[in-house]
Amino acid sequence: MNGLPFPFAGETLAALPSGALHWPARRLLCVSDLHLGKSERMARRGGPMLPPYEARETLARLDADIRATAPDTVICLGDSFDDLAAMRALEDAAREMLTTLMAGRRWIWIEGNHDAGPVDLGGTHLEALTDGPLTFCHIATDTAQGEVSGHYHPKARLPLRGRTLTRPCFLVDAARLILPAYGTYTGGLYSHAEPLASLMAPEAKALLLAAPPLAVPMPR
């Protein structure tokens, strides 16, 4: 599976090359910012026409992670859909893929800023979830302790052998963990940019997506 184990809030978690988070002790898989239906939303609002296959591609990667980790619980950390209209317009093939992935396991939709409101696809819809020492929410808070969030789509840039390497990444310190965006059509915010530079403690690490992920001091 090529995951990178790391300690957080007294637990051992694993960063996966896809950007998913695995909590083996709880048989839990967590992903953030799928932004399913982004191509539909952009076309609806008069933006550039993008190939409308990103939902299926994102869900195929999620299927692979689910097969590899066999979770009892899947948490989607918000902005799972690019907006609620995109959720309702999800193509039949993608909707069928998602229904299949959800079958037989606890599936939790955390509310995001793009998809605030009930998600009419089954599962449980929550603003936040606390499970043992971890709290799962969409946007990092100022009072984090054992907090797992998304929203910012973090990525890191660092020099490597005379060139610049840019990768999506997890950001982690003693209090908070911020996941990269999982969706195919998602950009990112550099770790040295505000508000990430202020949110993360000086000793924070970036876990760069690779196989396996690479842990480095968070670039500032």
How many Cβ atoms sit within 10 Å of the Cβ of residue 201? Answer: 12
Terminal CA-CA length for the chain: 30
What average pLDDT is seen over the chain? Answer: 88
How many Cβ atoms sit within 10 Å of the Cβ of residue 118? Answer: 10
Domain ranges of the chain: 4-217
Percent of the chain with pLDDT over 70: 85
Q: Which amino acid, residue 133?
A: P
Report the phi/psi class of residue 151: left, alpha or beta, with left for phi > 0 and alpha for psi in -120 to 50. Answer: left
In the chain, at which residue ranges do the beta strands (DSSP E only) sit? 4-8, 11-15, 21-23, 28-31, 73-76, 106-110, 124-126, 129-131, 134-136, 147-149, 154-160, 163-172, 176-178, 189-190, 205-208, 214-217
What's the pLDDT score for residue 123? 92
What's the pLDDT score for residue 42? 47
Fold for the domain defined by 4-217 = Purple Acid Phosphatase; chain A, domain 2 (3.60.21)
What's the pLDDT score for residue 56? 85
List, for residues 80-97, the tens digit of each pLDDT value: 886 666 666 678 888 899
Residue 62's H or E segment, with its range, is helix 54-69
Query: How far is C-alpha 135 from the chain's CA centre?
Result: 15
- Distance CA(82)–CA(35), nearest Å, equals 4
- Distance CA(154)–CA(178), nearest Å, equals 8
Task: Label residue 187 by pLDDT band (50, 70, 90).
Answer: confident
Q: Which residue has the higher pLDDT, 49 or 74?
A: 74
Is the separation of the CB atoms in 33 and 186 below 8 Å? yes
List, for residues 12-68, the tens digit of each pLDDT value: 999 999 999 999 999 999 999 998 865 554 444 544 545 556 788 899 999 999 999
The three-state secondary structure class of 198 is helix
Residue 88's H or E segment, with its range, is helix 84-88
Is the separation of the CB atoms in 181 and 18 below 8 Å? no
Task: Report angle CA 69, 70, 75 to the nearest 5 degrees.
Answer: 85
